[in-house]
């Protein structure tokens, strides 16, 4: 009976721990942002301004490869210009947005849209767009529909942690 009671008390705590991953903070001067991602996520490369109409881009991937994240940032171009960027030939399909919402954090306001790539309807995309007085940002998260919906809360937590930094 003691073990059963102990199990009943431990399981909810374990469930809470499993749903709340440990985080690491990334400070990326190249895109002028600080944000948190789960510790197990891969921190990918940086794309220089020569390859996009942007200040730069940064890539991160979930530990299991189910969700990818790419940030386009610019202190020159607006979000409309950033939205025209392609990701390995893929372009967000703004005409087939399945839902849109907004997400507010302490430092940003994001328009959140869910769609697919124009040329790959099997991969789904969550797009977050923000425009501040100095910089424009677009965040793309893509993967299967099931993976994105399963990790939507986690993705929103990543977005809540986004804070601008200054280069220097």
What residues pair up with 34 in beta bridges, in sequence order? 27, 163
Structure confidence by residue, pLDDT tens digits, 9-42: 444 444 444 456 799 999 888 788 899 999 999 9
Q: Between these two residues, 77 and 161, which has the higher pLDDT value?
A: 161
Whether 141 is in a domain gets the answer yes
pLDDT at 22: 93
CATH number at residue 61: 3.40.1000.10
* Domain coverage including residue 88: 23-164
Structure confidence by residue, pLDDT tens digits, 112-157: 999 999 999 999 999 999 876 678 889 999 999 999 999 999 999 9
Average pLDDT taken over every residue of the chain: 81
Q: How many domains does the chain have?
A: 1
Whether 123 is in a domain gets the answer yes
pLDDT at 20: 62
Whether 158 is in a domain gets the answer yes
Whether 18 is in a domain gets the answer no
pTM strictly above 0.85:
no
pLDDT at 74: 83
pLDDT at 108: 85
Annotate the chain with DSSP letters as a single string: -HHHHHHHHHHHHHHHHHHS--EEEEEEGGGTEEEEEETTSEEEEEE-GGGSSSSEEEEEE-TTSSEEEEEEEESSS-HHHHHT--BTTB-B-GGG--EEEEEE-SS-EEEEEEEEETTEEEEEEEEEEEE-SS-EEEEEEEE-HHHHHHTHHHHHHHHHT-EE----
Is a pLDDT exceeding 60 seen at residue 96? yes
């Amino acid at each position: 009976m003691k073990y059963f009671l102990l199990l009943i008390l431990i399981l909810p705590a374990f469930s809470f721990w499993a749903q709340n991953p440990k985080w690491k903070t990334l400070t990326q001067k190249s895109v002028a942002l600080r944000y948190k991602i789960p510790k197990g996520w891969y921190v990918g490369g940086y794309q220089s301004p020569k390859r996009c109409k942007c200040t730069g881009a940064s890539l991160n991937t979930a530990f299991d490869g189910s969700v990818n994240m790419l940030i386009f940032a610019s202190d020159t171009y607006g979000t409309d210009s950033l939205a025209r960027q392609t990701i390995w030939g893929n372009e967000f399909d703004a005409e087939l947005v399945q839902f849109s919402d907004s997400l507010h954090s302490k430092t940003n306001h994001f328009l959140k849209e869910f769609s697919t790539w124009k040329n790959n309807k099997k991969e789904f995309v969550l797009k977050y767009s923000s425009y501040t007085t100095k910089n424009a940002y677009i965040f793309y998260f893509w993967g299967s529909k099931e993976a994105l919906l399963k990790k939507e809360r986690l993705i929103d937590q990543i977005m809540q942690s986004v804070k601008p930094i200054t280069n220097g």
